[in-house]
Amino acid sequence: MTDEPTLREAADDSDFRIGAAIDPDALRSDPSYWRTASNEFNAVTPENALKMGPLRPSRDTYDFGDADAVVDFGDRNDMYVRGHVLVWHNQKPDWFQAWDYTDDQLREFLREHVHTVAGRYHGRIDAWDVVNEAVADDGSMRDTVWYDALGEDYLADAFRWADEVSDADLYYNDYGADAINEKSDAIYDLLERLLDRGAPIDGVGLQMHALGDHPDPDSVAENIRRFQDLGLDVQITEMDVAFHADDPPANPDKVQAEFYRDVIAACRDAGCDTVVTWGVHDASTWLRTFRDFSDRFTGDPLLFDDRYDEKPAYDAVKGALRD
């Protein structure tokens, strides 16, 4: 036995939330997985289970089994639970095709979805990603089924619908907007417009998938501060740190650890208190299975390795929490 605190204890001591995205099948089948998740993290989010596709196997049914498993796990272990995600253009059910609906019907479809899902978890989910990835990489509005039919109104509507049935904090979430850049400028403008219209937005989630080129931590801190100046809370919601597969650094574990440390420090300096990593251990990272990512990026972006052993990144995060 050692007296060394776990990551979770270090986070609790600093009033910080350190989280992991959770796969319900791994929870059910792998004791090391759930032990690591509950001993080392004080926040969870379902990685996929709350997305519209997994939740809605057919036109008339919802299947909440997997989502409930993750939310229950969070509840039982006294963890902060992030809900991900109510409105997104990806991972929709195969049976859902926009051309089957008029624009009015689409709006009603989305309202019913938000009310059903956010309403079910009233009091159990602490924060919701209400809208995910509505802005394109060049800063224009992303051309999605929702935007195409409903225009920018769908964002304000989605936040209002979520607010009608949920007591959670409501977030806009996106990738590639972690530092000051064209896309985060556009998101800043979008959120300012939505707030001006009275949309009940509490915060912004910066995903922080640092997969090849890593953003400058000083610019991340400046970005966090400007969103806070809009009155928004800022959380880092999907962090993982990888490298271009064809050009990794000589000492990837060290560079990875330093980047984790710098982001936690930037976050804490700016007064942000939540960082969720996108998986429990390297063997469960999406980078190994998603599209061609395994060719493009290194596949060990998390705090624990394939055997659940602590990596240099783990020590770096813990150190940054205790500084």
Interface residues toward ligand XIL, by CB under 6 A:
47-48, 132, 175, 207, 238, 286, 290
By Cβ distance, which residue is nearest to ligand XIL? Answer: 286
- 31 CB neighbour count, 10 Å cutoff: 8
- Amino acid identity, position 245: A
Residue 238 a catalytic site member: yes
Bridge partners of 19, per DSSP, are 43, 276
Q: Are 177 and 142 in contact (CB under 8 A)?
A: no
Q: Are 20 and 274 in contact (CB under 8 A)?
A: no
CA distance 174 to 8: 26
CB of 175 to ligand XIL, least distance (A): 6
Q: Are 155 and 193 in contact (CB under 8 A)?
A: no
Residue among 30 and 47 whose Cβ is closer to ligand XIL: 47
Residue among 25 and 323 whose Cβ is closer to ligand XIL: 25
CB of 269 to ligand XIL, least distance (A): 25
CA distance 174 to 208: 9
Residue among 36 and 48 whose Cβ is closer to ligand XIL: 48
Please tell me which residue in 4, 47, 112, 133 is annotated as part of the active site.
133
CB of 274 to ligand XIL, least distance (A): 16
Peptide bond into 280 cis (omega under 30): no
Residue among 129 and 321 whose Cβ is closer to ligand XIL: 129
Residue among 238 and 312 whose Cβ is closer to ligand XIL: 238
Please tell me which residue in 47, 192, 238, 310 is annotated as part of the active site.
238
Give phi and psi for 265, each to the nearest 5.
-65, -45
DSSP-based three-state secondary structure for 298: coil
CA distance 123 to 84: 15
CB of 232 to ligand XIL, least distance (A): 18
Q: Are 237 and 208 in contact (CB under 8 A)?
A: yes
Work out the angle at residue 306's Cα, subtended by the Cα atoms of residues 319 and 16, and round it to the nearest 5 degrees.
30
CB of 286 to ligand XIL, least distance (A): 3
Residue 4 a catalytic site member: no
Residue among 82 and 268 whose Cβ is closer to ligand XIL: 82
Q: Are 87 and 146 in contact (CB under 8 A)?
A: yes
CB of 51 to ligand XIL, least distance (A): 7
User: CA torsion 179→185→187→190, rounded to 10°?
Assistant: 160
Q: Which residues are catalytic?
A: 133, 238
